[in-house]
Amino acid sequence: MKYIVVTGGVMSGLGKGITTASIGRILKSRGYAVTAVKIDPYLNIDAGTMNPAQHGEVYVLSDGGEVDLDLGNYERFLDIELTSDHNITTGKVYRTVIEKERRGDFLGTTVQIIPHITDEIKASIARAAGKPVDHGTAEICLVEVGGTVGDIESMPFLEAIRQMRGELPARDMALVHVTLVPMDTMGDMKTKPTQHSVKALREVGIAPDIIVARGERPLSEGTKRKISAFCDVKQKAVISAATMPDIYQVPVELEQEGLADVITDFLGLERREADPSWYRTVMRKYTGKVTVGLVSKYGIEDVYISIKEALKHAGRALSTEVQIRWIDAEHYTARDLEEVDGIVVPGGFGSRGIGGKIQAITHAREKRVPFLGLCFGFQLAVIEYARGVLGIADAASEEFGSGTFVVALLPEQKGIGQLGGTMHLGDYPVMLSEGTLAARLYGRSDIMERHRHRYEVNPEFIPALEKAGLVFSGTNGVRMEACEIPGHPFFLGTQFHPEFRSRPAHPSPPFLGFVTACRERRRNAPPRERQG
Ligand code: GLN
């Protein structure tokens, strides 16, 4: 097993996750079996209990792990399926060590950060690296250390990396440091922040082998030379990573910088030609454009990253650029809805903003605007139908606290007091009924999709809803998993989250169908004319 450890300097938000995923991609395109581990130095056991507005989307894995959004990037770039063990947090490490202490595993010793915590970190990395991906065990494992070098939180992890480096044969680990090269007012590239962050890394006993410099513009040869000299890294190992128009083009950029050969040479692996299929998928030209309104409490950037990417995958496959417009569920005007070619209501929790979301669904249903409701969006579509068509004016979800509960707590959730990691989570099979939109989109009747919810369509109301025309096109035998309105150009709600399984080369069927419908609508009634 070869390890590529990725650390970050200067500041957070540099795109370390995308860089890590892109390094994995260029190696995978060379036929290497690659896996990836994300280290998150926070005390939460997992990302499931964090506010997405602060930490970004909670990504859901097939095993039900609620993890950091970077695992979504790894899955999308590497086209693999990871497990909860691939996201190591301080919380998980300490929990394991403390459980061992209570069991008596360390009897007679003082339990300390070094060696007990660092040993557990190394064991966790090795365990995750050894888990099968694709069709066997990986040859290369990427390890991304979250946070910025110098943070107190990440110290034990960097110490564990330092130890690993000493314990492994020299060519089995490469250290990639991602930094920022800003520009001054004269347009000169400044290397000082990079020099300082490399110094901070050296203080904890680690020296980088490769430096990936992020910035608005590509590095000049002179700047590369300077970084090479000051940071003691070979000049060809100073890689320029300027901001790209699309994250999927970052591997193409790293490819052009020659990073693949630098890494394979460093690790003593053979140089190989890259398979061009990634390039073909992500460089496909757009010939048209649609605007999709995403009605939610939070802005789109990191909170709905999987939805944003799934729309992009579908758009790319259809040569259609998808522009997402964030529609704030609590403050929007009729015009906001009129100016979009389709409406998405994403997953969510709690009752804030539901009025606006339901109003947007009414608009989509009545004005025949393409609609995709995901999880909470599906539940709200059912509630909207109960209110608008069945006439249950106070139709609601039990989650809101009052009203007629057309959406109710899952029976197995009753009595659950502990909230971390206890939702209905991960991959579960769904059966689609023949002849429905959902079955047509997937081209099959048995599918597997990821879940993350506590509530379901209340079984008591299913017959009435069906009688009123709502079709439940997907079920798991007992629970309703998808709904649609026959005769509507595209109205689909899913209790599951199809966005988590969408990949650049295999877009998710509901998203593909939705973007196709948006394109149709724009062709037949471009937004400007619709405004009249
Ligand atoms: N809050 C809803 C539930 O728990 C929907 C969850 C979601 O959208 N992920 O069922």
For ligand 1, the distance from its centroid to the CA atom of residue 4, given in whole angstroms, is: 36
Query: So which residues are the catalytic ones?
Result: 375, 497, 499
Rounded to the nearest integer, the mean pLDDT of the chain is 94
Nearest ligand 1 atom to alpha carbon 347: 8
Stretch 172-178: mean pLDDT: 97
* pLDDT band at 29; cut points 50, 70, 90: very high
Is the distance from CB of 63 to CB of 15 less than 8 angstroms? no
- CATH number of this structure's domain 286-531: 3.40.50.880
- 404: Cβ contacts below 8 Å, ≥ 6 apart: 386, 392, 394, 395, 396
* H or E segment to which residue 322 belongs: strand 320-328
* pLDDT band at 233; cut points 50, 70, 90: very high
For ligand 1, the distance from its centroid to the CA atom of residue 454, given in whole angstroms, is: 6
Nearest ligand 1 atom to alpha carbon 350: 1
User: pLDDT tens, 237-266?
Assistant: 999 999 999 999 999 999 999 999 999 999
Stretch 478-497: mean pLDDT: 97
* pLDDT band at 473; cut points 50, 70, 90: very high
What's the pLDDT at 187? 85
Q: What is the largest CA-CA distance in the chain?
A: 80
- The number of C-alpha atoms within 13 Å of 175 and in the hemisphere containing its C-beta is 23
Phi and psi at residue 39, to the nearest 5°: -100, 125
Stretch 125-144: mean pLDDT: 93
Task: Parse the chain into domains and list their residue ranges.
Answer: 2-280, 286-531
Is the distance from CB of 342 to CB of 490 less than 8 angstroms? yes
Is the distance from CB of 214 to CB of 11 less than 8 angstroms? no
Is the distance from CB of 369 to CB of 327 less than 8 angstroms? no
What's the pLDDT at 53? 84
Phi and psi at residue 88, to the nearest 5°: -95, 125
For ligand 1, the distance from its centroid to the CA atom of residue 147, given in whole angstroms, is: 29
Ligand 1 mutation pick, 374, 379, 397, 495, max ligand atoms within 8 A of CB: 379
CA terminus-to-terminus distance, the chain:
63
Alpha carbon distance 37, 151 (integer Å): 19
Stretch 65-83: mean pLDDT: 96
Nearest ligand 1 atom to alpha carbon 452: 9
Stretch 210-217: mean pLDDT: 94
Alpha carbon distance 343, 91 (integer Å): 38
Q: Residue ranges of the alpha helices (H) in 204-353?
A: 221-231, 250-256, 259-267, 277-282, 305-317, 334-338
Question: Does the pLDDT at position 500 exceed 50?
Answer: yes
Stretch 15-32: mean pLDDT: 96
- CATH number of this structure's domain 2-280: 3.40.50.300
Question: Does the pLDDT at position 474 exceed 60?
Answer: yes
Q: Do the domains at 2-280 and 286-531 have one common CATH topology?
A: yes
What's the pLDDT at 529? 59
Nearest ligand 1 atom to alpha carbon 456: 10
User: pLDDT tens, 378-426?
Assistant: 999 999 999 999 999 999 999 999 999 999 999 999 988 888 999 999 9
Is the distance from CB of 165 to CB of 2 less than 8 angstroms? no
Q: Beta-carbon neighbour count of residue 475 at 10 Å?
A: 17
Alpha carbon distance 92, 82 (integer Å): 17
Q: Does residue 348 line the site of ligand 1, with CB under 6 A?
A: yes
* pLDDT band at 144; cut points 50, 70, 90: very high
Q: Does residue 349 line the site of ligand 1, with CB under 6 A?
A: yes
DSSP reduced 3-state for 514:
helix
Task: Annotate 460-476 with three-state secondary structure.
Answer: HHHHHHHHCCCEEEEEC
* Percent of the chain topping pLDDT 70: 99
What's the pLDDT at 530? 61
Q: What pTM was computed for the model?
A: 0.95
Q: Residue ranges of the alpha helices (H) in 56-154?
A: 69-78, 90-103, 118-130
Q: Does residue 30 line the site of ligand 1, with CB under 6 A?
A: no
Stretch 75-88: mean pLDDT: 96
Nearest in space to 88 (alpha carbons), one of 141, 52, 10, 136: 141
**DSSP category for residue 113:** I
Phi and psi at residue 26, to the nearest 5°: -65, -30
Question: Does the pLDDT at position 532 exceed 50?
Answer: no
Nearest in space to 284 (alpha carbons), one of 243, 321, 257, 310: 321
**Nearest CA residue ID for atom 3, ligand 1:** 453
Ligand 1 mutation pick, 352, 399, 410, 494, max ligand atoms within 8 A of CB: 399
DSSP reduced 3-state for 125:
helix
